[in-house]
Amino acid sequence: MQKALVTGAKGFLGREITDHLKSAGFEVKTLGRSKCDYNFSLEKGEPSFNQKFDLVVHVAGKAHIVPKTKEEADDFFAVNVTGTENLLKALDSSDIKEFVFISSVSAYGLKQGLSINEDNPLLASDPYGRSKILAESVIQDWCSKRNVTYTALRLPLLVGKNPPGNLGAMIQSVKKNKFFTIGGGVASKSMVLTRDVARLIPMISKIGGVYNVTDGYNPTFRELSDAFEKCYDKKVYNLPLFPFQILAKLGDSFKFIPFNTLMLNKIILNFTFDDSKLRKALVDWKPTPVIDYLKSNVL
């Protein structure tokens, strides 16, 4: 039986990965801040492992907030970079065969675009995206020196049960009849189900490489809101673009207005990623379109 370690195992994605690996026949050990086999905060030092692993899936990391202070920005590097370095030091004596790192499309540092692929330069300047770039580099170097098969999965918006972050806030707005689209909701966005990411890991970990992962469909905001309407039996309204353009410009100048051009662009601009590299590496890879999933599942 292959032995696997999953970090961040109690998080939104980590739980799904842990459950799937167990169902796939792995003996799984978990690392997290609490209620895990190894209860440890990686940014605080090196954990001590009393066993060896064939596969390590590094999910643990800081996300889902926009830092407002230098301390909050520094936390991204402490958790995502120093924490990764501490994990690797603790694994130095292990005979690991495969290492999978959960990265993010935020590493590209882009705010819009269509079919962005893995050859795109990593231009992120924000703390989250930059910390993911540095963590990728550290892990790739470590794996190369030890002949460990290295895989980095750059993920877009994750969809699954009880989601955190923007998607969780969106769903709460839908439930309260406060969610709406702007300008027809025509912008396409890449996303992928957490269960598909989990299903992918034991297959791609044996091949290695850096991959974008999407559902391959990239729905529009309008399609997503239509699915939410049916899923939650709520009405989602479409509002004209022009008033929000004015509000966004005011928000750029006056910080007390909780809306700005950056927020508006996230809603109205296309932002999709090309996953053809992954589909060539795994010809049988067929993720479920998020829209199809939402037709019969409540998040």
pLDDT in tens, the chain (299 residues): 899 999 999 999 999 999 999 999 999 999 999 999 999 999 999 999 989 999 999 999 998 778 889 998 999 999 999 999 999 999 998 899 999 999 999 999 999 999 999 999 999 999 999 999 999 999 999 999 999 999 999 999 999 998 988 888 888 988 898 888 999 999 999 999 999 999 999 999 999 999 999 999 999 999 998 998 888 888 888 999 999 999 999 999 998 998 999 889 989 999 999 999 999 999 999 999 999 998 888 88
Q: For residues 228 and 222, what is the distance between their CA atoms, to the nearest angstrom?
A: 10
pTM equals 0.94
Domain ranges of the chain: 3-162+191-215+272-287
CA distances from 57 to 29, 116, 221 (A): 11, 25, 32
Residues 6+ apart with CB under 8 A from 16: 160, 194, 195, 197, 198
Q: 271, 112 in Cβ contact below 8 A?
A: yes
Q: Per the structure block, which two tokens stand in for 113?
A: 């675009």
pLDDT score at 170 = 86
Of 135, 137, 150, 171, nearest to 63 (Cα)?
135
pLDDT score at 165 = 83
pLDDT score at 179 = 87
Fold held by 3-162+191-215+272-287 = Rossmann fold (3.40.50)
